[in-house]
Amino acid sequence: MRMPSKLWTAYRLRLKRRRYLFRAFRKRRQLTEVENRTADILPSDILAFATVRNELIRLPHFLDHYRKLGVGHFLFVDNQSDDGTAEYLRQQPDVSLWSTGHSYKAARFGVDWLTWLQVKYGHGHWCLTLDADELLVYPYYESRPLAALTAWLDSTGERSFGAMMLDMYPEGRLDDQTYVAGEDPIDILGWFDSGNYIIHRQPELQNLWVQGGVRARSFFANNPRRAPTLSKTPLVKWNRRFAYVSSTHSILPPDLNHVYDDTGGEKTSGILLHTKFLHTVIEKSREEKLRKEHFAVSSLYDEYYDSIAADPVLWTEKSTRYRNWRQLEAMGLMSKGGWL
């Protein structure tokens, strides 16, 4: 007798989740403890997890942004930085740091390493999982800390919070303005594409798949289906049984992907301001093309890296100047939903 399709899907996803957790358990041996301050973590702390490589220039503002939002402790994995990233993080009193020289790609783009740290330290905490070039904004974030948002999510029974990644870019060429560590990168990357987004619902994992924006327009116009995915679930009330599937684009169990309202209403959501296109992206693109660590089939993205390394102008007369979160809500890119 054949198992009903829904039960079979649930069974396969449960096996997949267990396999990812087992991978993380095995990959823990690839991590070397550099500075472990996790004994300082309080039960109420919101935690942030990130894998980084040569992000020294971004880290002062990144840490400042999330400290202001109320993150209590940061857990970083440094993957062979040689620009002083590890030394800088080691000096931060609210940071715990691990290092690894192993392949980022073979660790599911760093997810295996972070999953192990989340299993060990994140259980019971609201956890942010981020890249160093992502700055979360959400309704009322200037006046309401993350603790207010997570308390409201707890009161409504929600265990996850969704955000769309919004690619920000400068008005001129990427190399026209030099970013200085500690500055707000949005002072340089003040523009974005307000339209051309397409949304699909992935039936198995039940997550939304959003593509579009400036990268789809400028680098994948001939094949928009290859454009990077923009939808993420970066904030989760963590349980040691959880595991991200593809970066933070999807997670298991699949009900955590329900960060949208499928009944026609709106669910509270945020935006990850994506600050990839600072002047540093030109040299990084050349390096990543050679390292081939950032895409499952890296050769398919050689033209993408070449296009960025050519120092393009991404701005057009249709570009939109960023003002605030209310502007993004009015455009339908994020929502305050029921959080008033």
3-state DSSP call for residue 52?
Answer: strand
Q: Which domain holds residue 9?
A: 5-330
pLDDT at residue 242, rounded to an integer: 98
Work out the end-to-end distance of the chain between its first and last CA atoms, rounded to an integer number of angstroms: 51
Q: How far apart are CA 225 and CA 216, in angstroms?
A: 8
Q: Consecutive 10-residue runs of the chain (340 residues): their mean pLDDT?
A: 74 96 97 98 98 98 98 98 97 98 95 98 98 98 98 97 98 96 98 94 92 95 90 98 95 96 84 97 87 65 87 96 97 93
> 56-97: per-residue pLDDT in tens?
999 999 999 999 999 999 999 999 999 999 999 999 999 999
Domain count, the chain: 1
Please, what is the Cα angle at 201 between 9 and 196, to 5 degrees?
A: 160
Q: Is residue 337 part of a domain?
A: no
Q: How far apart are CA 80 and CA 337, in angstroms?
A: 41
Burial of 204 (0-12, 13-18, 19+ CB in 10 A): exposed
Q: Is residue 81 part of a domain?
A: yes
Residue bearing tokens 């207010």: 148
pLDDT at residue 297, rounded to an integer: 57
Q: Is residue 211 part of a domain?
A: yes
Q: How far apart are CA 97 and CA 38, in angstroms?
A: 10
In angstroms and rounded to an integer, the radius of gyration of the C-alpha atoms of the chain is: 19
Q: Is residue 338 part of a domain?
A: no
Cα–Cα distance list, 220 to 98, 139, 143 (Å): 36, 31, 38
| Sign of the alpha-carbon torsion through 337, 198, 217, 59 | positive
Looking at residue 43, the DSSP 8-state letter turns out to be T
Closest CA to 316 of 169, 216, 186, 167: 169
Q: Is residue 214 part of a domain?
A: yes
Q: Is residue 335 part of a domain?
A: no
| Whole-structure pTM value | 0.95
pLDDT at residue 1, rounded to an integer: 43
Give me the CATH number covering residue 106.
Answer: 3.90.550
Cα–Cα distance list, 198 to 20, 61, 159, 210, 228 (Å): 29, 31, 26, 6, 12
Cα–Cα distance list, 42 to 30, 39, 94, 165, 196 (Å): 27, 8, 12, 29, 43
Please, what is the Cα angle at 231 between 227 and 235, to 5 degrees?
A: 145
Q: What is the DSSP string of 277-301?
A: TSTTHHHHHHHHHHH--SSTTGGGG
Structure tokens at 30: 């690839």
> 241-272: per-residue pLDDT in tens?
999 998 999 999 999 999 998 776 789 999 99
Who contacts 264 (Cβ-Cβ below 8 Å, separation ≥6)? Answer: none
